[in-house]
């Protein structure tokens, strides 16, 4: 790559000292205050996730007296910090130390020596260091390999101009990202408001005023209940016939299990006239017995999707369901959620055993069941430990659902869809975040090609800067090292 006049290429080790961190005995860990932060990889990650460039603190702190025990030298403010071991290398997270501190032995500190601190940080952000890692069970980067990384060196004054410009532009990018990151929670609040209004009857209040004489929901549920039993009897007799058996009396009808009654917790709001409460098992058929283990995801790719409880889809080579369904996650808090991840499925697919599979009973459809479950605060029905709490099939069956009259339901569902369509901008938001990341990369690339700020012919050229750095480092080196270098030069001449 061609660089502007006055620029040079140099090794990272020519303009910076690279230091590893120190072991951190457990006896010194756990203090939340002290003289100096003792930063770990997670502190770097936390700073980056917070959208910050500067690391000012850490989870652990040490006192000045602990430096002797650790046999450690403080790292100066302005050092660039990065992970050097493990999968954290892939994340390419970099921060700058905002104060003197220590880091543990999973971290490298790159300390500028004559180069601008922010300029060095921004350059380090352009590097993907994972290819430099040693291919072992735990990937790691060697100090010697990092020191050999080539970097462009502009004049010092231009470095500062570049750093100021990049910092300002990245700050604008961070503000834009913060605005975009705030959109999904707002969209979720809007969706929940729409659904809450829908199942309070607010969305169809005008329709009810104009249509007071419609069949109430309890009559609809009575027909669904009768059809549910009729289908069970038909299926039971078919199974008996397949076994070569014929029931001699009606005692077999006592085997029929009535659907669960709704379980009300912490009270329920009142419903509009004509509406009624029912349970999930009264209006759906649970197909959980047809689910397949998670391990089936590892089969060879095929034409049909495999749905998991988190809504992700993989492709495998067979199909199981071929009808409209509603899937509800079984494992709630494991995914950090307090309501079901309910989504609709059409076409042939597999469903793994971490999702419940519901088939709505006619004349209800997947849309109504889907919307009903989307807004449910299901956490009171969860069982199990905090880390692996579950929404069991029995608890799901007992969830109460508010059901309107059928005529009103046919009006309600399209109105919900119309209102929620206003919130379907999440793909655009995600695309915007992706474009910001691309823009940041392009910005840094432009900066280190010398295209971001104008050059000043009066600036001291980089060659003079590098020569001064070499002289200063030579003067600061231990005497023995200088003698050894002098001896090596004499031997080379001879």
The distance from CA 390 to its chain's CA centroid, rounded to whole angstroms, is 21
- Confidence (pLDDT) at 47: 95
Tell me the backbone φ, ψ of residue 105, rounded to 5 degrees. -80, 10
Question: Any idea which residue has 């010697």 for tokens?
Answer: 144
Average pLDDT score over residue span 432-454: 90
Higher-pLDDT residue of 443 and 381 is: 443
What average pLDDT does this structure show over 11-34?
A: 93
Mean pLDDT of 211-229: 94
Residues 6 or more apart whose Cβ sits within 8 Å of residue 56: 37, 98, 99
Residue pair 121/80 in contact by the 8 Å Cβ criterion: yes
Hey, what are 247's tokens? 């029931």
Confidence of residue 186 (pLDDT cuts 50, 70, 90): confident
Copy the structure tokens of residue 304: 């049909």
Please report the pLDDT score of residue 312 as a whole number.
55
How many Å apart are CA 372 and CA 381, to the nearest integer?
Answer: 16
* pLDDT attached to residue 304: 67
What is the predicted pLDDT for the residue at 336? 30
Contact 39, 61 (CB under 8 A): no
Write down the pLDDT at residue 373.
84
Cis peptide before 186 (omega within 30 of 0): no
d(C-alpha 355, C-alpha 347), whole Å: 17
In this predicted structure, what is the pLDDT of residue 479? 59
Greatest mean pLDDT range, 152-156, 284-288, 350-354, 361-365 = 152-156
Instruction: Give ∠ CA 372-368-308 in degrees, rounded to 5.
Output: 70
- Predicted confidence at residue 385, as pLDDT, reads 59
pLDDT grade, residue 338 (50/70/90)?
very low
**pLDDT tens digit string along 92-108?**
999 999 999 999 999 99
Q: Is the pLDDT of residue 494 over 60?
A: no
Average pLDDT over residues 10-38: 93
Query: What's the mean pLDDT in 140-167?
Result: 94
Mean pLDDT of the chain: 84
Are residues 297 and 346 in contact, defined by beta-carbon separation less than 8 angstroms? no
This prediction's pTM? 0.65
Instruction: Return the pLDDT at 474.
Output: 85
Q: Which of 209-218, 247-256, 370-379 has maximum average pLDDT?
A: 209-218
- 292 pLDDT band, cuts 50/70/90, is low
Counts of helices then strands in the chain (DSSP H, E): 17, 20
Matching residue, tokens 């009535």: 258
End-to-end CA distance of the chain: 38
**Distance between CA atoms of residues 124 and 110, nearest Å:** 9
pLDDT of residue 386: 52
Q: Is a pLDDT exceeding 50 seen at residue 439?
A: yes
DSSP string over 337-372:
-SS---EEE-SEEEEBTTEEEEEEPTT--HHHHHHH
- Across the range 52-77, mean pLDDT stands at 94
Q: How far is CA 125 from CA 70, 82, 136, 294, in A?
A: 30, 10, 24, 38
Instruction: Give the model's confidence band at 339: pLDDT under 50 very low, under 70 low, under 90 confident, else very high.
Output: very low
* Separation CA 333–CA 379 (nearest Å): 9
- The dihedral sign for the CA sequence 47, 50, 53, 56: negative
Q: For the residues 169-192, what does the mean pLDDT come to? A: 88
- Dist CA 338 CA 191 (whole Å): 15
Q: Residue 325: pLDDT above 70?
A: no
CA distance 271 to 378: 19
Tell whether the model's pLDDT for residue 421 goes beyond 80.
Answer: yes
Whether the pLDDT of residue 1 is over 90: the answer is no
Whether 125 contacts 444, CB under 8 Å: yes
| pLDDT bucket at 331, cuts 50 / 70 / 90 | very low
| Residue scoring higher pLDDT (121 or 264) | 121
Which has the closest alpha carbon to 409: 162, 114, 257, 211? Answer: 211
């Amino acid at each position: 790559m061609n660089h502007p006049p006055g620029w040079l290429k140099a090794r990272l080790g020519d303009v910076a000292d690279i230091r590893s961190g120190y072991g951190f005995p457990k006896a010194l860990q756990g203090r939340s205050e002290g003289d100096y932060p003792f930063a770990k990889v997670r502190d770097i990650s936390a700073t980056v996730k917070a959208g910050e460039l500067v690391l000012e603190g850490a989870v652990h702190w040490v006192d000045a007296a602990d430096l002797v025990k650790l046999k450690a030298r403080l790292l100066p403010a302005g050092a660039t910090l990065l992970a050097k071991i493990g999968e954290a290398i892939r994340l390419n997270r970099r921060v700058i130390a905002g104060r003197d501190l220590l880091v543990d032995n999973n971290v490298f500190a790159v300390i500028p020596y004559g180069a601008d601190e922010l300029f060095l940080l921004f350059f380090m952000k352009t590097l993907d260091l994972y290819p430099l890692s040693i291919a072992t069970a735990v990937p790691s980067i060697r100090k010697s390999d990092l020191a050999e990384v080539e970097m462009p060196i502009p004049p010092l004054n231009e470095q500062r101009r570049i750093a100021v410009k990049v910092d300002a532009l990245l700050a604008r990018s961070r503000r834009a990202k913060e605005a975009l990151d705030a959109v999904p929670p707002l969209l979720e609040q809007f969706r929940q408001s729409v659904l809450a209004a829908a199942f309070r009857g607010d969305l169809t209040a005008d329709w009810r005023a104009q249509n007071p004489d419609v069949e109430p929901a309890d009559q609809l549920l009575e027909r669904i209940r009768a059809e549910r039993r009729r289908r069970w009897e038909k299926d039971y007799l078919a199974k008996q016939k397949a076994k070569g058996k014929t029931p001699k009396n009606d005692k077999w009808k006592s085997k029929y299990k009535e659907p669960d009654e709704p379980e009300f917790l912490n009270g329920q709001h009142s419903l509009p006239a004509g509406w009624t409460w029912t349970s999930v098992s009264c209006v759906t058929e649970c197909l959980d017995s047809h689910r397949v283990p998670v391990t089936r995801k590892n089969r060879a790719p095929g034409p049909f999707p495999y749905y998991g409880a988190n809504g992700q889809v993989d492709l495998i080579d067979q199909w199981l369901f071929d009808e409209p369904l509603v899937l509800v996650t079984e494992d709630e808090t494991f995914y950090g959620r307090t309501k079901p991840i309910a989504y609709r499925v059409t076409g042939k697919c597999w469903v793994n055993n971490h999702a419940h599979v519901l088939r709505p009973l006619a004349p209800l459809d997947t849309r109504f069941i889907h919307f009903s479950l989307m807004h449910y605060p299901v956490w009171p029905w969860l069982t199990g430990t905090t880390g692996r709490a579950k929404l069991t099939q029995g608890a799901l069956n007992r969830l109460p659902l508010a059901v309107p009259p059928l005529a009103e339901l046919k009006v309600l569902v399209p109105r919900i869809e119309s209102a929620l369509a206003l919130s379907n901008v999440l793909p655009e938001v995600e695309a915007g975040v992706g474009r910001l990341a691309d823009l940041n990369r392009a910005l840094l690339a432009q900066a280190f090609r010398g295209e971001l700020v104008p050059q000043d012919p009066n600036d001291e050229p980089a060659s003079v800067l590098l020569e001064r750095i070499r002289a200063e480092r030579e003067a600061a080196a231990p005497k023995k090292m200088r003698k050894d270098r002098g001896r090596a030069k004499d031997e080379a001449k001879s």
